[in-house]
A and B are shown apart, each in its own frame.
Chain A
């Protein structure tokens, strides 16, 4: 197989710059990076088709090998249109982000950061709960209101409300 180094080198540069921009904080630059990456991938696909050839319009007098490979072309066509849709979507994202926060700017996710500092205490799992000795609600049966019985020590240290050490600072 033949390898068109020009196409591959341009592709390499597009990949490199595309990623350089993709890793940016500015959303616009991220989008531009994505567009460059799309072009780079298209070039790679095109390069797999080998030498330049005739446009693949069938003619029974022309052998198939004379055409430029139509299969990568079909892939690229799909890719171009999808990239267009993605670009349009990203543009609306950028505008929306601008409307909401006046920033064209990828921020760190504070919610994620909070996970690392979160408290181990989980009320569902870790709070002390009273021992229950009946399936039935207490108001049905006066005998079951255990608080009134003196001398009976049941664990009843329900901690109300959130844990005092729970921190929500960002």
Chain B
């Protein structure tokens, strides 16, 4: 079974290659897969129908915890359905070789989908797990969507595909809920298991019984949508936008039978549940009448068949769902018969369309004369559909009548209901006969030329290969009708699962003697013939009787309402205002967390203090921070606000230092400094004032939100810390750091060893942010092309004196300084304009640069045991480069760092990643560190921990980030400034230009 299933999917995946090589002939290769599977299936007959051996099963655990297993079971019902699925699948695929042209677009994908569909359908009918069944169920929905929408350029195809998808997915979701209710209620998701438990489940009273009833009803909703029953039937005629082979397979023989299959599968156990009979009988019969009625109004041959299918599906559903032995036999006989004749007829329509270019019965004329062989094939199919002897349709329909006669006579539902059901079925069958006749007449008859047509539609001759598939199907229809005992033997074990109504039993046969079913068949033929003969008047009557109830329009109205609601909701929530979004989020946070705080009445027992006895000066730092924060809120000038925020930052550093966190203090200090520089560099082009349009909006609301949130956080902090009862995990960290990580600095070892994954994620973010910074400023690349200082004339960079600036005497004086083409202190100091240079700064830079770099390397290496580490070291190195840039300009920076920041980031990340991966090769775990001790000539005894390599990676990433910041916000903006790109040219307003005339 698994091989059959996999073969379908594997060949489907290869299909595009096959098609590109062999063109449409590749359909034969595809057809070989279900054909071979069909042969395999026939060979399985002995196993499946053996009295002694259990049905062949296959069980592969998938998610055992959810009771979700790949369980397949080939019992008699599955075998019967597989026969239809694989047989018709093979024939339809073979038929496609003649239907399509090799040049048709997307044929490979189409073939793949069609073959995958055959495999999915096979999986669906053999699955023995409710969830697995659902998976295949939804796969058929998706594949059907793709197949209906094959003609991607036609709006009708796309729309029909989407409609079918939405309707059947809706049913599928209802079904999923139902499946879970049933599965949970039964305690197993195995279908055979659920069915075995069915008697006790159905007998259950109270809540479990209700759950089962509703669950089954929801499953039926899925079946009803899939099999296009009222009120969801409209998607099936819509789906006729699919290529005709798809309609023949999906919408006649296979997919729409999935709903029937599901009902047939569950009927032995659950046909007695509360809503079953009502849902199935009422919807089934109503659908039968509606489909037949509508079929008589269609002019497109395919639509006649589509509405006929809707009608037949309702009919079959009613029969299969009845739950008696006779009905089960008759129902499955009908499924087979319908599959045979409806596929035949669809394929015939495909041939007519292909040869004449239309399916409109008002345009077709004289086709029988042009293609008599085709006509005979169609006649067999249509006669079987109409229920004429000696064909399959007749045998099946007779048995249905007999089954319902028995049900009316002996069944539990009572005579009246039984007779009424039978009467409706006869009425439906009369309609069926009439549209069968309409199909034959419309498609093949020579019509009078009064309709403005030429005597015969141009019709190309039909080749045998094209006709082969429908001819074979019609031959089977005939064989089935002539010798039905074979089919009965296939169905008998399944129908034996039901209790018998009729004490005499029921058999499939052409001739039962003069019985009521025969009489009913006579009524059907007579009535149908009569209806066909008055077809003109009947159409007119239909035109008058239009009720205005149109389910498809209802569906579209529903979608419109959905659109309206969506737009309304979007319009209310997506206001496009960041303030609005943030305010909603914050207010929600305040309200929900506040409510929880009030609700749970937390304890306030924590020991509270204002002044930490260990570091009383924190209070002063805190006050400084408050000043900075308020200053930042009130500042009117851009750089004043920045400086004020920096005050809080440096205050933080002080608090860190006083709290016993030297690493943090150091890092905070360095970061704060670099940020300050970056701020000034980035925002130097912007106007100095912060007062912009709309600056003071919602002041009160903002203040309220801010205060409330701040207060909330204070309370949350107190409560959270007060609720702590366990000892901190970090008490074991120092020992772990020393013994496991081989370092004394607990914070550093935590970063590079204990919580190294965290840090690895962090440096990845740094690399991304660095790339983002460079991309935003450079737009293309990250400024890797570093110009050398030799290429620049001395004193040419950054000449002050653009128009619009007030010349200050100091600058004027400085401009008169000599420009010397020598580099006394810095490599590229001479490139700067004299008024930009500072000798003292250059000298100091010259003196401290290398010392700072050495310090940074020291911090990096010493960090494992003392204050420092990769972050601090990298930031110090970055600071050294910042000084170089500030003192010597962008050429100085380029001379100082001849590598691309991207290279540094990449090497850093690679070093970190390698440190992670390398232990795997030594049998360790990812990021496991090792301590190596060895002796070096000068350094003596060295203890080296491999996590230091990770720290080097961190160092490189941080340096890369700082370089990116300097090159982007420094060098590149310098260049913008000099080219006048970033110069201040205030535009008064940003109103749309078309308004300002």
Interfacial residues, chain A to chain B (CB-CB below 8 A): 1-26, 28-29, 32, 35-36, 39-40, 42-44, 46-49, 51-60, 64-65, 67-74, 76-78, 80-89, 91-96, 98-99, 101-113, 115-118, 120, 122, 124-127, 129, 131-136, 138, 140-144, 146, 149-152, 170
Residue from the list B612, B667, B695, B772 in contact with A92, Cβ < 8 A: B772
User: Measured between C-beta atoms, what is the minimum distance from B766 to chain A in Å?
Assistant: 5
User: Measured between C-beta atoms, what is the minimum distance from A13 to chain B in Å?
Assistant: 6
Residue from the list A67, A88, A142 in contact with B734, Cβ < 8 A: A67
The 7 closest A-B pairs by CB, nearest first: A141-B357, A116-B571, A16-B710, A112-B576, A68-B660, A109-B576, A85-B769
User: Measured between C-beta atoms, what is the minimum distance from A62 to chain B in Å?
Assistant: 8
Total interface residues in chain B, CB < 8 Å: 164
Given known contacts A32-B641, A71-B729, what 18 new A-B pairs fall within 8 Å (CB)? A3-B721, A8-B718, A20-B633, A20-B703, A20-B706, A28-B690, A47-B717, A55-B661, A56-B747, A57-B746, A64-B734, A70-B737, A73-B747, A81-B667, A85-B766, A85-B770, A92-B773, A105-B692
**Which chain B residues (653-708) contact chain A, with CB distance < 8 Å?**
655-656, 658-664, 667-668, 671, 674-675, 678-679, 682-683, 685-687, 690, 692-695, 697-698, 701-703, 705-707
Q: Is the CB of B958 within 8 A of A95?
A: no
Chain B residues with CB below 8 A from A1, complex form: 606-607, 721-722, 724
Residue B923, interface by CB 8 Å: no
Q: Is the CB of A143 within 8 A of B357?
A: yes
Given A135-B353, A138-B357, A88:B965 Cβ within 8 A: yes
Q: Is the CB of A88 within 8 A of B714?
A: no
Could you tell me the dominant secondary structure of chain A's interface residues? helix
User: Measured between C-beta atoms, what is the minimum distance from B878 to chain A in Å?
Assistant: 10
**Which chain B residues (598-652) contact chain A, with CB distance < 8 Å?**
606-615, 618-619, 622, 625-626, 629-630, 632-633, 638, 641-642, 645, 648-649, 652
User: Measured between C-beta atoms, what is the minimum distance from A40 to chain B in Å?
Assistant: 7
Nearest residue (CB) in B for A158 is B155
Per the bound structure, the CA–CA distance linking A7 and B982 in Å amounts to 42
User: Measured between C-beta atoms, what is the minimum distance from B208 to chain A in Å?
Assistant: 43
Q: Is the CB of B658 within 8 A of A95?
A: no
Residue from the list B607, B608, B733 in contact with A64, Cβ < 8 A: B733
User: Measured between C-beta atoms, what is the minimum distance from B577 to chain A in Å?
Assistant: 5
Q: Is the CB of B660 within 8 A of A16?
A: no
Given A81-B766, A99-B982, A76:B155 Cβ within 8 A: no
Q: Is the CB of A71 within 8 A of B678?
A: no
**Which chain B residues (444-480) contact chain A, with CB distance < 8 Å?**
451-453, 457-458
Chain A residues with CB below 8 A from B777, complex form: 92, 95-96
Q: Is the CB of B695 within 8 A of A26?
A: yes
Residue B507, interface by CB 8 Å: no
Could you tell me the dominant secondary structure of chain B's interface residues? helix
Chain A residues with CB below 8 A from B578, complex form: 106
Q: Is the CB of A141 within 8 A of B660?
A: no
Residue from the list A2, A64, A113 in contact with B575, Cβ < 8 A: A113
Chain B residues with CB below 8 A from A40, complex form: 713
Interface string of B558-572 (1 = CB under 8 A from A): 011001100100111
Chain A residues with CB below 8 A from B611, complex form: 6
Q: Is the CB of A135 within 8 A of B607?
A: no
Chain B residues with CB below 8 A from A11, complex form: 710, 713-714, 717
Per the bound structure, the CA–CA distance linking A57 and B660 in Å amounts to 10
User: Measured between C-beta atoms, what is the minimum distance from A77 to chain B in Å?
Assistant: 6
Per the bound structure, the CA–CA distance linking A146 and B721 in Å amounts to 81
Q: Is the CB of A98 within 8 A of B718?
A: no
Per the bound structure, the CA–CA distance linking A51 and B961 in Å amounts to 34
Nearest residue (CB) in B for A60 is B738
